[in-house]
Amino acid sequence: MADRGVDLAALPNEVREQLAELELELSEGDITQKGYEKKRAKLLAPFVPQTQNVVVSIKLTPGLSSDPTSNPNAIPVAAPRQHRAHRSGGTRDDRYRSDIHTEAVQAALARHKEEKMALPMPTKRRSAFVQSPAENCTPPDTSSASEDEGSLRRRQAAISAMLAQNLQSPEYWINRSVQSSSTSSSASSTLSHGDGKTHNHSQGQTSVIFLSTGVPAHSRVSTKIQQLLNTLKRPKRPPLSEFFLDDFEEIVEVPQPDPNTPRPEGRQMIPVKGEPLGVVSNWPPALQAALARWGATQAKSPALTALDITGKPLYTLTYGKLWSRSLKLAYTLLNKLGTKNEPVLKPGDRVALVYPNSDPGMFWVAFYGCLLAEVIPVPIEVPLSRKDAGSQQIGFLLGSCGVGLALTSEVCLKGLPKTQNGEIMQFKGWPRLKWVVTDTKYLTKPSKDWQPHLPTANTDTAYIEYKASKEGTVMGVAVSKISMLTHCQALTQACNYCEGETLVNVLDFKKDSGLWHGVLTSVMNRIHTISVPYSVMKACPLSWVQRVHVHKARVALVKCRDLHWAMMAHRDQKDTNLSSLRMLIVADGANPWSVSSCDAFLNVFQSHGLTPEMICPCASSPEAMTVAIRRPGAQGTPLPARAVLSMAGLSHGVIRVNTEDKNSALTVQDVGHVMPGALMCIVKPDGPPMLCKTDEIGEIVLNSRAGGTMYYGLPGVTKNTFEVIPVNSGGTPIGEVPFKRTGLLGFVGPGSLVFVVGKIEGLLSVSGRRHNADDLVATALAVEPVKTIYRGRIAVFSVTVFYDERVVIVAEQRPDANEEDSFQWMSRVLQAIDSIHQVGLYCLALVPANTLPKTPLGGIHVSETKQHFLEGSLHPCNILMCPHTCVTNLPKPRQKQPGIGPASIMVGNLVAGKRIAQASGRDLGLIDDQEQSRKHQFLSEALQWRAQTDPDQVLYMLLNAKVTPVSTATCSQLHKRAEKITAALLERGGINTGDNVVLLYPPGIDLIASFYGCLYAGCIPVTVRPPHPQNLAATLPTVRMIIDVSKAACILTTQTLMKILRSKEAAGCVNVKTWPNIIDTDDLPRKRPSNIYKPPTAEMLAYLDFSVSTTGMLTGVKISHSAVNALCRSIKLQCELYSSRQIAICMDPYCGLGFVLWCMSSVYSGHQSILIPPMELETSLPLWLSTLSQYKIRDTFCSYSVMELCTKGLGTQTEALKARGVNLSCVRSCVVIAEERPRLALTQSFSKLFKDLGLSPRAVSTAFGARVNLAICLQGTAGPDPSTVYVDMKSLRHDRVRLVERGAPQSLPLMESGTILPGMRVIIVNPETRGPLGDSHLGEIWVNSPHNASGYYTIYGEESLQGDHFNTRLSFGDTETLWARTGYLGFVRRTELLDARGDRHDALFVVGSLDETLELRGLRYHPIDIETSVSRAHRSITESAVFTWTNLLVVVVELNGSEQEALDLVPLVTNVVLKEHHLIVGVVVIVDPGVIPINSRGEKQRMHLRDSFLADQLDPIYVAYNM
């Protein structure tokens, strides 16, 4: 080490402090190991004893021998020998191949110590992806013993030993990670770190790891989350100094500019001129004239040879035939397609050319035929199916060019997809086309007097070449006749073409260099072109080399891909000779990675006559056509030098020769000089076209007569590309001539040589730095060995997520790659790209083989792939998301300001003019409620009174699925039935006054009668939802729990349920022997009790209300007689309930306000209640709505589950309901009873859907209750309509309420929870300080009312909780009043509306449960908001739920679709949460529909879900751990 021989204790104090600081920085991950060693060596350098002839500052890398005798220059680069072994085999795509780069990547990975990053591997359900062979997928410690278990174990032991040897993680990576053993999901993803030994547990043992809390977790989920936390312990950026100020402008953390960023230092560049375009006397005035000349004078001269599928010549087209056929076609197009007076085509019309790559002859004839007829050809690819990649965009091109006619060959026409009646299919997005077959037999010989018009080349459009933009839009570049001619002349001069030469063309002849050299320039110079189609190359990769050899070709036109394919197959051919070549034009030589292909090809074929000066890379773009080309050199002339550039410099847009880190170097070859007659500048790629400095990378712009003139039909886009005038640093134009943007990034090197380092369309701008997609592809492919993916099938693009570009790599996985290998490859690609390019990957996805959208010539259609990724239709089989490392612009975490007391807040509110957030309902005492309410303090008395005074009034009517009453109860019937139950209780049950009695009934009148029976007997009724007979295992334990907790003395139930409670099935779930006394009330004795119990005071308990909260807590609250009385009075006043009224109730009657409305309200107020059990809706969905219509109901109450059922099930049937006479215009109020934030989207959908049935949009409203008070708000008849406000979500996370306009970004609509009930006071309180808040704050809702519950009913009697929740006082202000804490957050707003008293109405808005809020990054999030965003992310997401675990956000998503779609959801969910909530999702869990538990009120049980997840009980389809 650098401190060898240094006594640390003797160092000066400041040096020791600096060293300690360095150690701290290293341990916290703020500095890399390399940086640490560098700085440490620098600090200690002055104190190192200098010894002669000894190099002291040996830089040892961790893991290499520290023996002083070992090689001092050892650097961790993989031995070159193993690479050479690879090199001789030609099984790779050498487009992106560079041995230097491969070694650089290996070295970078070696620096990571080949360590496996402690990344948790995703958990995948085995049925989900059939792709991997079963043997590879089986986890090593499954309990099913396979017959070859020994070999499996041996393999595992071997892997473990090897990994323990090589793959120890450096401590700084995982910060002394927890010891963990392999779990059931994967052997090597959870290696033990720290001691380098692997514990092989026998199958019976479980792995136990201790979490940060010290609690052992026995599940693979918790193991993986722990690993995930370990990967996050190394922060990517230093800790933040100051904290988030609640300023809504400041969303994004803006990275501070790095002072060490390299900046351009050269002078401003001077435009580079190409040599002048020579004037040759015999050059034709137009290209058609050249064809006419050769057709007449050299008719036998070969123009084109086409090959068959085997690579043998199929036919040769002579110049004579080409001329005569083109003439026939021109005549036919102009004269034979319509009538004489109405021709179909006129000169200047655009015509699509649809010819396959294997039929160049037909294409040539069609192209020249169009030129002779002066119609404009638009060559396009042959559409293979209705949904071709990019087909819609081709339709856009045809539309923008106004194409109505397509020329094709008979063979091609037969192959086009047809409809059932034989017509050619209408392709997606295409205009209607007429198809014309151009085979010779269908052409007409021109009449004697007809001659084609051969004008001198002018600025009219000659043809249109298509180009696809980065976004996938396809535009047509129009090339004028003069541009076409000038380009041919410039190419002839630059390439030194001679008459009668032979040229082998492997490129697509419809566009780019394939068209320019192989179709246009060749005809101008009477060259013989041999066209080698893509299909031949696939079958015989060496075919082009053989053609060069056989025809003694002088020029060959290829891409890097063709060089690579030829190398792969060269061993089959010994006798090829390439010495006839003078130019091997490499059309994609502008790709910086082409240099390695050229070198490798030269290396192999030098012995076959190839010389270095023959290789001529060129650069071109559809807009400017050929930009630069290397001229063919004379034998033996030295080749130009190459540029070895620093990738870090390139990412900042500057040219720096790489001297330090050879791992991140990019070697580029020149593409020769500018074309003759052209002028070139380099301008800044973004912003105004300012000239670059000489050491700056910019976009190449070109001024030349040869080149495109416009994007046809798109004048707006044309101006920005074809009419650019560069400006100097002062902003003044350098001249008047317009330049064309080429889309190429590069610079001009020594000797005016042009270097290209990438394309604008491959540019990824991440955090202000520019990366090239091709460079990232090269690095990914250099991660050897590629057993995992196909080399040529990889796409890199960026997606905009949270105000920055994020890099995504998608590749096709080989069918034989197993999950483990894929995951390892992915994690190593992450490390390599991070090391070499200093950029974090956002997502790496592997898809099954052959599933990425292809371009017509077999490449990957990148924009379409990106589209699939963003739409969620990519269907990956493996995915790795790394948002934690690459998202570095999140807002700063919020630091809560300490020391501000409630008094200061209150004074602050008063000073700011904010009112204290409180509100109250009408006064209960002012009710003139006949004399009955004063007379009867108890409901039991009220029922007796009604049975005497109005015995025949029907109080209850229970309906079945056919909307017919099953049973009714008049006042006297209910009273008599209650008496019988009382008698049975006293006789059979031996019940004492005050005993608790469980009522176990389906929703109906029996439940109501037994409730009053208990009151008559002086017992305390406890209503319990009966167990579901088909699902006893899940529902019976809750019943048992309530019975045990309430210490019930007996159970009242029906005969059917009694049998279920004692059945064998029940015995499997609970202990049925210890049930309390069960009384069946179906068959009761005709006895009356001797007396009816009357409680001594109204404060005595009336009943217990048990409910499972959304956090999964079972809570029972005590409701006194006075609370029941006050609540019923309150509801009666709010809803104006009188004996003449009818209401309909469709909800479960077991707890909360639902139970009060179902059982008590009618007896108190005397109105008739029509009862609709929600389970009846399962058999007849329209039951509730039909009832409302049939009985002309004005007021109805329901639950969210009922409303959702109707919305989803009946939304499409409104016409049918209308036809059946359903009319909802009678409904005045439809109130949803709930204990949660109003579900605005659902209530609005319901209103809109049933508006056609007459439902008033003002009718639907919500109620709100909590455990401490069952009914706080209820939209009655007297108050104003519920108001909706839009609040700013960013402020809400800071517990502030800021109202914004509808549609504002980050706005959240909230609906008032109903009018506050009479007698109710509400105040908003800070839950921590317990001080009252202003109305611009979010706080806990506290209530004071006569119908508050008296307290919790628990076995343990937690008095502290009792006092805290039910009888608590404010810490400041009105400290006398006793309040109950609801546990819900909300706010009060004074509206412009007037209430019944004529005062301004105070609206209460409920935001969410305090227990459920998620505290992340110092901010308060409400799960429902995140879930709403997640549910919108993809059409297959039916439901979602979120919770946190050790600071990680876990999102559980229900997938309603095929399991193939599961992995599509991972990036979409991550994106949407990041974009809308500024949070990084830690774990995404994809499950089947129905897995997220929901309680009877339709509320999600997130805590139950969390427990099931951690206990590994969800059986997920897929679990993704976002790193």
Q: HSE (CB half, 13 Å, CA atoms) of 1247?
A: 18
Q: What is the DSSP track for 1468-1487?
A: HHHHHHHHHH---EEEEEEE
Q: What is the pLDDT of residues 13-61, one digit of tens each?
A: 778 778 877 776 665 556 677 777 788 888 888 877 653 333 322 233 3
User: For the chain, how big is the Rg over CA atoms in Å?
Assistant: 41
Amino acid at 551: H
Question: Cα separation of 1388 and 1386, whole Å?
Answer: 7
Per-residue pLDDT at 84 exceeds 70: no
Number of residues that make up the chain? 1523
Give the pair of three-digit tokens for residue 1486. Answer: 């994809």
Q: Select from 1223, 1229, 1231 the least CA-distant residue to 1190.
A: 1223
125-130-132-136 Cα dihedral, nearest 10 degrees: 50
Q: Tell me if 210 sits within 8 A of 178, measured CB to CB.
A: yes
In angstroms, what CA-CA distances link 528 with 222, 282, 287, 404, 1463? 70, 20, 16, 33, 52
Q: Tell me if 1151 sits within 8 A of 1105, measured CB to CB.
A: yes
Question: Cα separation of 810 and 879, whole Å?
Answer: 9
Q: Is 1312 helix (H, G, I), strand (E, B) or coil?
A: coil
Angle between helices 13-27 and 33-44 (to 10 degrees): 170
Q: Over 1232-1287, what HEC string results?
A: ECCCCCCCHHHHHHHHHHHHHHCCCCCCEEEEECCCCCCCCEECCCCCCCCCEEEE
Question: Cα separation of 632 and 1353, whole Å?
Answer: 95
Q: Tell me, what's the pLDDT at 990? A: 78
User: Considering the chain, what is the average pLDDT of its residues?
Assistant: 83
Question: Cα separation of 1467 and 1450, whole Å?
Answer: 14
Angle between helices 319-335 and 360-373 (to 10 degrees): 50
Query: Across residues 308-312, what is the average pLDDT?
Result: 87
Amino acid at 1263: A
Which segment of 779-783, 1359-1363, 1383-1387 scores lowest on mean pLDDT?
1359-1363
Q: HSE (CB half, 13 Å, CA atoms) of 573?
A: 23
Per-residue pLDDT at 1482 exceeds 60: yes
Question: Cα separation of 322 and 440, whole Å?
Answer: 11
Question: Cα separation of 131 and 875, whole Å?
Answer: 12
Question: Cα separation of 1017 and 1006, whole Å?
Answer: 16
Q: Tell me, what's the pLDDT at 149? A: 38
Q: Is 215 helix (H, G, I), strand (E, B) or coil?
A: coil
Which segment of 389-403, 501-515, 1190-1204 scores lowest on mean pLDDT?
389-403
Q: Tell me, what's the pLDDT at 37? A: 79
Q: Tell me, what's the pLDDT at 935? A: 63
Question: Cα separation of 1113 and 1383, whole Å?
Answer: 13
Q: Tell me if 956 sits within 8 A of 974, measured CB to CB.
A: yes
Question: Cα separation of 252 and 232, whole Å?
Answer: 21
Q: Name residues whose C-beta falls within 8 Å of residue 445's C-beta, 6 or more positions apart in sequence.
A: 328, 331
Q: Tell me if 1019 sits within 8 A of 994, measured CB to CB.
A: yes
Q: Over 1045-1091, what HEC string results?
A: HCCCCEEEECHHHHHHHCCHHHHCCCCHHHCCEEEECCCCCCCCCCC
Q: Tell me, what's the pLDDT at 43? A: 83
What stretch of H or E contains 1205? helix 1200-1210
Please give the model's pTM, rounded to 2 decimal places.
0.80
Per-residue pLDDT at 530 exceeds 90: yes
Confidence of residue 117 (pLDDT cuts 50, 70, 90): low
Q: How far from chain centre, in Å, is Cα 1252?
A: 37
Question: Cα separation of 649 and 665, whole Å?
Answer: 10
Confidence of residue 206 (pLDDT cuts 50, 70, 90): very low
Question: Which backbone phi and psi does 1045 adopt, to 5 degrees?
Answer: -65, -40
Q: Tell me, what's the pLDDT at 478? A: 97
Q: Tell me if 1523 sits within 8 A of 231, measured CB to CB.
A: yes
Q: Tell me if 323 sits within 8 A of 304, measured CB to CB.
A: no
Question: Which backbone phi and psi does 799 adopt, to 5 degrees?
Answer: -120, 145
Strands of 961-1048 (E only): list them.
965-970, 996-1000, 1020-1024
Question: How many Cβ atoms sit within 10 Å of the Cβ of residue 502?
Answer: 21
Amino acid at 410: E
Give 245 or 913, the one with higher predicted confidence. 913
Q: HSE (CB half, 13 Å, CA atoms) of 393?
A: 20
Give the pair of three-digit tokens for residue 993. Answer: 């006054």
Per-residue pLDDT at 389 exceeds 50: yes
Confidence of residue 352 (pLDDT cuts 50, 70, 90): very high
Which segment of 211-220, 913-922, 1217-1226, 1431-1440 scores lowest on mean pLDDT?
211-220
Confidence of residue 796 (pLDDT cuts 50, 70, 90): very high
Question: Cα separation of 318 and 1413, whole Å?
Answer: 80
Question: Cα separation of 550 and 548, whole Å?
Answer: 6
**1214: DSSP letter:** H
Confidence of residue 1471 (pLDDT cuts 50, 70, 90): very high
Question: Cα separation of 742 and 388, whole Å?
Answer: 28
Question: Cα separation of 624 and 487, whole Å?
Answer: 10
Q: Name residues whose C-beta falls within 8 Å of residue 914's C-beta, 6 or more positions apart in sequence.
A: 1334, 1335, 1336
Per-residue pLDDT at 183 exceeds 50: no
Question: Cα separation of 234 and 609, whole Å?
Answer: 56
Q: Measured at the alpha carbon of residue 1059, what is the angle toward residues 1056 and 1062, in degrees to the nearest 5?
A: 150
Tell the burial category of 175 from Cβ atoms under 10 Å away from its Cβ (0-12, 13-18, 19+): middle
Q: Select from 371, 327, 657, 671 the least CA-distant residue to 524.
A: 371
Question: Cα separation of 600 and 594, whole Å?
Answer: 10
Q: Tell me, what's the pLDDT at 1499? A: 82
Amino acid at 1203: M
Question: Cα separation of 1069 and 1061, whole Å?
Answer: 10
Q: Tell me, what's the pLDDT at 367? A: 97
Q: Select from 1149, 1120, 845 the least CA-distant residue to 1025.
A: 1149
Which segment of 158-172, 943-957, 1234-1248 scores lowest on mean pLDDT?
158-172
Q: Select from 1007, 1032, 1036, 1037 the least CA-distant residue to 1022.
A: 1007
